[in-house]
Amino acid sequence: MSPRSRLSLVSCFIAVAHAGLPFPSFPQVSIPNTFPQLSACLSAPSFFSCENTTSIADTCCSPTPGGLVLQTQFWDTFTGFEKKGQLLPKNSWTIHGLWPDNCDGSFEQYCDLSRQFDPAPSPAILPDGTVVPPYIGPGVDTFVKAFGRADLLAFMNDYWVSQGSPNADFWGHEFSKHATCTSTFDVACYGTHYRKHQDVVDFFDAVVRAFHQYPTFNMLASAGITPSNVTTYTLSQLQNAIKTQTGSIPFFGCTTNGTVLSEVWYFSHVHGTEQFGAYKTIDSTTKSSCSAAGIRYLERTRTSEREVR
């Protein structure tokens, strides 16, 4: 658009506004933000998580103890909820979650039962005997809507697709099981003006941002690795295709005795917060569950997919 036409659009807008004609007005109250209050981090040292040489004083500034961050994805061939319109995005893997492993690969789960939004906790009883009660309130999708984030909700319904349960149940599970153990999403990090569920929406935004860093389908396809019900691949073919792009070997998960590719986990350390920081990939700390060779990367059932662009 030339400067001239832009100018005329502006003057047109002003003219309409002055005339008091019906015109899509700006919202009176703007949509509340969902970011944490990080000004206390400015005077603290910054580093990649799990690489700090001194102890982390303010856990809002860096995920701790869960500084080994995993962005996890699924390759499913069906959802089981096709009749409800829950379909997989063509030419893309789907989001599983964003997990806070401890630096040694162990992990915590369901760390804050006051933020328990998982209708079907798994495990329902934690190793220390704590019972995780099933959540029966409104789905976490309603939290996203309440913050005016139809854009985020649409993306999640396209790319964060559950198998065997409604999407919102799965998102609630991921938040309550994992994000409550990720210190940068602690309620205290949002300051004194915390609005309920700000942390939930902020986490979903962070998951989507992390997912964008690892376009698995395209990275594999660009290396000639595409879904096929005929061909098989070796584990090193899969690993090399990703390593040449991210610098590290992710975890590949397979079902059916290591023969059917079903998931990928990207491991990283993060500088600053999971919300805004830079992710530095590192090699998986977990051994692949796929066989060395003969791995099937199955084509999806045609009626389980849809075009999402």
In the stretch 202-231, what mask flags binding to ligand NAG with x, by CB under 6 A?
Answer: ---------------------------x--
Distance of closest approach, residue 102 Cβ to ligand NAG, in angstroms: 9
Question: How many C-beta neighbours within 10 Å does residue 289 have?
Answer: 14
Nearer to ligand NAG, 283 or 299 (CB): 299
Residues labelled catalytic? 96, 174, 178
Residue 264 main-chain phi, psi, to 5 deg: -140, 140
Provide the terminal-to-terminal Cα distance of the chain, rounded to the nearest Å. 25
In the stretch 70-89, what mask flags binding to ligand NAG with x, by CB under 6 A?
Answer: -------x------------
The reply to whether 302 sits near ligand NAG by the rule CB under 6 A is yes
The reply to whether 256 sits near ligand NAG by the rule CB under 6 A is yes
Residue 166 main-chain phi, psi, to 5 deg: -65, 145
The reply to whether 53 sits near ligand NAG by the rule CB under 6 A is yes
CA quadruple 196, 48, 104, 250: dihedral sign: positive
Contact range with ligand NAG by CB under 6 A, out of 16-24, 134-142, 199-207, 299-307: 299-307
Distance of closest approach, residue 248 Cβ to ligand NAG, in angstroms: 20
Contact range with ligand NAG by CB under 6 A, out of 170-178, 205-213, 280-288, 296-304: 296-304
The reply to whether 130 sits near ligand NAG by the rule CB under 6 A is no
Q: Which residues make up the interface to ligand NAG (CB under 6 A)?
A: 52-56, 64, 77, 229, 256-257, 298-299, 301-302
